Amino acid sequence: MQERSPVRPWEIGFVLLVLAVTAGLATVWILNDKGPLLEHSGRSIQDSILLWKRLGAGLSFVPDDYPPLASLVSSAFYVVWGPSRLVALASQFVFLVPYLTGCWWIGRELGGRAGGALMLLAAAGNPWMSLHLHGYYLEVGTTSMVALALALLLASRGGRAPAPTLALGVVAGLGMLSKWSWLLFMGPGLLWPLALAWKAGPKSRRMGGAALACLAFTSLMLLAARQEASHGFPWMPYGLSLLAWLLLGALAARSWRRTGWTPSAGIALSWGMAFLVGAWWYFLSAWELQAKAAGDAGQGVAAWVSLTHLVATLSTCTWAAPAWFALGSLAALRIRELRVPTLLVWSGIALFLGFYAVWQVPPGPRYALPATVLVLAVSFGWLGRFRKASLLVGALLIAVGWLQVASWTLGSRSISGPAGPDLNRSRWLVRLSPPRSSGPPVEATARRVLVELEDSGEGAITAILLPGGRLDPDVLILESILRGRELDIRHILDSDPAPPVRTSLLLVVGEAPSSSPWMDDFRLLERWETADWGAWSLHRRRTPGVRRPS
C-alpha cells in the first residue's frame, strides 16, 4: 500500500465539494420527481415510521426481518421534520458522508493523494448509488459501511495499528445493523488480521484461536436462542455470549498492556466491540430471521440467471467498468503491496456473487450496490501511482461519471439505450437515461383501498402480481401509513394461486386470465389502466370470508 502522506487542506475541500455536488444532484432529482417510489421502498419507509413511533412512545425494539440502522437514522429526521416520503429519502443522504469519505481514503491508501481523488470521483459518479438514493433501500447504509470498513482495514495495515482496528470493530457492528449481507462483502477482509496473528507466533495463535472460538460459540448461542426469541428477548444465550466476549476482551487488553499491540489483540477487541454494537438485534430477531431465511431461499431463480444479473449490475457501476477492473487486477499482480488488498476485494466479490447465486434469491440491483465499492477500489485506486494517467482518468471521471449521474438526476436527453433497474446483460458503456418509475395514481388508489378496508374491518389486502403487471404495490404502504393507517400487503406471485385468498379485498396487478375460477369469488370495484404502466384492479369478495364452492 502507499506510504501515508499528510492530509492537505485542499483534499478536505475537494471531498466536501464532491459531497455537496452529489447530494445536491440527488436532492434536485427527489424534489422534482412526482412519480411513485421504487419497489420495496414503501415497506421500508413504513418500518422506519413505525420504529420512530415506538421509540417516541417509550417502547422498546421488536423483532423484525431487517436490522434497524436506516430506520434509526430516519427516526432522527422524523423528530425534527415529521414523517414523509421526502424526509425519509433525505435521511439517507447521511450515508453519503461515510460512503464518499471511505472511498476517498481507500484510494488514498492504494494510490496516495491522486488515488484518493480518483476513487472519490468514481464513487460520486456511480449511478447505482444515485438510483438507490432515489428510493429507500437498506443497501445504501450497507454500502457506506463497506466503504468505511475497507478504508479502516487498509489504514490498520491488517490490524497492526490500534486506533483504526478498534474503529473497524464499531463499524463492523454498524454494518451488521445495516443489513446482515455486510458480512459477505467484508468477511474475507476481517480474516487478514487473523492470518497475521497466525504468523506472529504461538501466543498470537492462541489469542486468534480464542476469538474464533468465541465467534463459533456466539453462532451456537444464536441458534439456541431461536425458540426463546419467539416469546421474548433470549437473555440467557445472549448473556453467555456477552460473558465470553468480555473475558476475551479482558485478556486482550492485558496482553496489550504487557507486550504491546498485536493483530491478535486487535482481533479480540474489535470483534468484541462489533458484538457489543450489533449482536443484540440478532438475538432479539433470531426467530424472525429463521422464518425470513426459509422464505427467501430457493425462489426459483436459476443460479446462472442470478449470477448474470448481478455481474451485469457491477459492470455498469461506472463507465467501462470491466476494462478498468481488468487493468486494476493486472496492476495488482505487478505492484507487490497491492496484492493482499486486491485479493481481499476479489474474495468479497466472489463470496457475494456465489452466495446470492446459490441462494437463488431474485437478483435486484440493490443486492449488488455494496459490491460496487470493491469494484471501484480495484479499478481506480492504483492509478494514483501514475501521475499523468491519474490526471487523464480524473478528467474522464468528471466528464463521464457526473454526466451520467446528472442525466439521471436532471432528466437529460438519453445518450444511449435506456437503463432499467433490473439489467439482464453486461454492457461496457453505461446507459445514460434515468430508469423511469411509473404507476397508477397512488394517492387515489391508497385512498380507495383504505375506504374499503374501513368497511371490511380488516387491516390487510392480498396483492396478486401477474407477469404483465408493473410496479410493486408496496408503494401503497407508505401512502396508507401517512394517513394514519397501517396496511399489510400479502403478496402472491402466481396467476392461479394454490392457497386461497384469505382477505376480503384483492388487488390484481396486471391482467388476470379469464379462466381463473378463483376470480368468481370477487366483484370488481375499480380499475386503473394506462399504456405506460398497465392495469391495476381492486376487487371485493362477494361474501366476505366465504369462498364459493368450485
Mean pLDDT on 238-257? 96
Please tell me the distance from the alpha carbon of residue 61 to that of residue 354, in angstroms, as a whole number: 33
Whether the pLDDT of residue 36 is over 80: the answer is no
Parallel, antiparallel, or unpaired for β 488-492 and 534-541? unpaired
Amino acid residing at 130: S
Can you read off the three cell numbers belonging to residue 517?
A: 375460477
Note whether 376 and 152 are within 8 A (CB).
no
Residues 386 and 457 in one domain: no
Note whether 234 and 220 are within 8 A (CB).
no
CA atoms within a 13 Å half-sphere pointing along the CA-CB vector of 263: 22
Residues 388 and 448 in one domain: no
Q: Residue 338: which domain range?
A: 9-191+299-394
Interval 473-503: pLDDT, tens? 777 877 788 777 777 787 776 555 555 678 8
Task: Report CA torsion sign: 411, 414, 416, 417.
Answer: positive
Please tell me the distance from the alpha carbon of residue 444 to that of residue 279, in angstroms, as a whole number: 42
Residues 367 and 451 in one domain: no
Interval 149-185: pLDDT, tens? 999 999 999 999 999 999 999 999 999 999 999 999 9
Mean pLDDT on 296-309? 71
**Domain's final residue, options 368, 394, 420:** 394
Please tell me the distance from the alpha carbon of residue 141 to that of residue 174, in angstroms, as a whole number: 9
Of 146, 211, 531, nearest to 374 by C-alpha is 146
Of 304, 301, 311, nearest to 427 by C-alpha is 311
CA atoms within a 13 Å half-sphere pointing along the CA-CB vector of 58: 0
Q: Which residues contact 271 (CB under 8 A, 6 or more apart)?
A: 169, 172, 190, 211, 214, 215, 245
Residue 408 in domain: no
Residue 419 in domain: no
Of 224, 223, 280, nearest to 62 by C-alpha is 280
Residues 89 and 187 in one domain: yes
Residues 352 and 476 in one domain: no
Residues 50 and 156 in one domain: yes
Q: Enumerate long-range contacts of 245-249, CB under 8 Å, 24 or more apart.
A: 245/214, 245/218, 245/271, 245/272, 245/275, 245/276, 246/272, 248/210, 248/211, 248/214, 248/272
Q: Tell me how crowded residue 146 is: count the other CB atoms within 10 A of its CB.
A: 32
Distance, CA of 372 to chain centre: 11
Residue 57 in domain: yes
Note whether 366 and 360 are within 8 A (CB).
no
Q: What is the pLDDT of residue 426?
A: 37
Residues 377 and 461 in one domain: no
Residue 434 in domain: no
Interval 381-419: pLDDT, tens? 999 999 888 888 888 888 777 666 665 554 433 333 333
Residues 343 and 492 in one domain: no
Note whether 333 and 339 are within 8 A (CB).
yes
Interval 85-124: pLDDT, tens? 889 999 999 999 999 999 999 999 999 999 999 999 999 9
- The count of structural domains within the chain is 2
**Domain's final residue, options 333, 368, 394:** 394
Task: Report CA torsion sign: 483, 488, 491, 496.
Answer: negative
Residue 456 in domain: yes
CA distances from 414 to 349, 350, 398, 433, 486 (A): 31, 33, 18, 5, 39
Note whether 109 and 377 are within 8 A (CB).
no
Residue 351 in domain: yes
Residues 176 and 47 in one domain: yes
Residues 169 and 53 in one domain: yes
Residues 42 and 106 in one domain: yes
Mean pLDDT on 240-260? 95
Residue 209 in domain: no
Residues 16 and 134 in one domain: yes
Q: How would you write 155-214 as a 3-class SS string?
A: HCCCCCCHHHHHHHHHHHHHHHHHCCCHHHHHHHHHCHHHHHHHHCCHHHHHHHHHHHHH
Residue 287 in domain: no
| DSSP string for 105-130 | HHHHHHHHHHHHHHHHHHHHT-HHHH
